[in-house]
């Protein structure tokens, strides 16, 4: 292992505490990830997934570790668009390696908790803290979508227009994308709830709690989709009435 590569890996070291080690990598194409793969026996396919961005959430089992991809969700009001990001985890009995392409908000949220609580030096605790923060961001995204739906509802009867119709379809696409992300995260949490590893079983109740939050978010998605379908019907009816009046 070259000295430059060793320095890159050491720069990613977050903590070594009570036999537990945590690395956080934000340069997915740099040498640190390859060095960590050599040290911890990380599978080459998982390393490839870390470098191929925008992967769906999943859990994969390898000989010495689990590989977990988790997704966050963003919503842009300008384009009425949902898009997702990812953060990846290699989780073993005494280590966690978190991987994100560039600066990570979830890392900035979890790191202070880790520094303040000695009990956080545990693979299940670190993974659970990240997933909890990521899923906690789902409902604020849905709140913003709800606000956009309410704004459209106020305009659709009196001012039906092609622009409003485009907004309705954009929001429907955003909800479909959100549902895809949340559904894959639901499957990830379901798998983590049933894993046999001792270092994950101790957090199963907490994974179940996060799972419940994802289910709640999916319930909201179905509700908002039904509301949007109703708004679309109202828009089409208003447009037809307006056309009849003109005729």
Q: Write a three-state SS string for the chain.
A: CCHHHHHHHHHCEEEEECCEEEEEECCCCCHHHHHHHHHHCCCHHHHHHHHCCCCCCEEEECCCCEEEEEEEEEEECCCCEEEEEEEEEEEECCEEEEECCCCCHHHHHHHHHHHHCHHHCCHHHHHHHHHHHHHHCHHHHHHHHHHHHHHHHHHHCCCCCHHHHHHHHHHHHHHHHHHHHHHHHHHHHHHHHCCCCHHHHCCHHHHHHHHHHHHHHHHHHHHHHHHHHHHHHHHHHHHHHHHHHHC
**Token pair of 189, please?**
């949490």
pLDDT value for 243:
60
pLDDT value for 236:
73
Q: Which residues pair with 72 in a beta bridge?
A: 85
pLDDT value for 1:
45
Distance of alpha carbon 120 from alpha carbon 110, whole angstroms: 10
Sorted by sequence, the CB contacts under 8 Å of residue 241 that are 6+ apart come out as none
Per-residue pLDDT tens digits of the chain, which is 247 residues long: 444 457 888 899 999 998 999 999 999 999 999 999 999 999 999 999 999 988 899 999 998 899 999 999 888 777 777 778 899 999 999 999 999 999 999 999 999 999 999 999 999 999 999 999 999 999 999 999 999 999 888 887 777 778 888 888 899 999 999 999 999 999 999 999 999 999 898 899 999 999 999 999 999 999 999 999 898 878 777 666 666 566 5
Q: Which of 24, 203, 55, 8 is nearest to 123 (CA)?
A: 203
pLDDT value for 114:
96
Distance of alpha carbon 201 from alpha carbon 123, whole angstroms: 11
Tell me the whole-structure pTM to 2 decimals. Answer: 0.89
Sorted by sequence, the CB contacts under 8 Å of residue 6 that are 6+ apart come out as 35
Sorted by sequence, the CB contacts under 8 Å of residue 82 that are 6+ apart come out as 73, 74, 75, 141, 145, 173, 174, 175, 177, 178, 181
Q: Which of 243, 237, 77, 73 is nearest to 167 (CA)?
A: 77
pLDDT value for 244:
58
pLDDT value for 161:
79
């Amino acid at each position: 292992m070259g000295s430059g590569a060793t320095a890159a890996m050491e720069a990613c070291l977050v903590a070594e505490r009570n036999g537990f080690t945590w690395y956080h990598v934000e340069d997915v194409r740099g040498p640190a990830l390859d060095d960590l793969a050599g040290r911890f026996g990380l599978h080459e396919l998982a390393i490839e997934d870390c470098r191929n961005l925008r992967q769906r959430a999943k859990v994969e089992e390898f000989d010495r570790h689990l590989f977990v991809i988790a997704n966050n969700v963003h919503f842009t009001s300008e384009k009425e668009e949902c898009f997702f990001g990812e953060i990846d985890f290699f989780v073993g009995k005494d280590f966690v390696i978190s991987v994100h392409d560039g600066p990570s908000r979830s890392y900035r949220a979890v790191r202070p908790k880790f520094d303040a609580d000695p009990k956080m030096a545990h693979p299940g605790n670190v993974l659970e803290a990240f997933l909890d923060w990521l899923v906690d961001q789902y409902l604020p995204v849905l709140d913003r979508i709800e606000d956009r739906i309410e704004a459209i509802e106020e305009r659709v009867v009196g001012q039906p227009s092609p622009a409003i119709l485009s907004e309705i379809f954009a929001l429907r696409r955003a909800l479909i994308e959100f549902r895809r992300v949340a559904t894959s995260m639901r499957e990830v949490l379901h798998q983590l709830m049933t894993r046999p590893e001792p270092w994950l079983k101790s957090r199963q109740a907490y994974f179940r709690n996060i799972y419940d939050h994802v289910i709640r978010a999916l319930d909201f998605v179905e509700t908002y989709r039904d509301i949007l379908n109703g708004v679309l019907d109202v828009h089409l009816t208003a447009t037809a009435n307006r056309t009849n009046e003109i005729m």
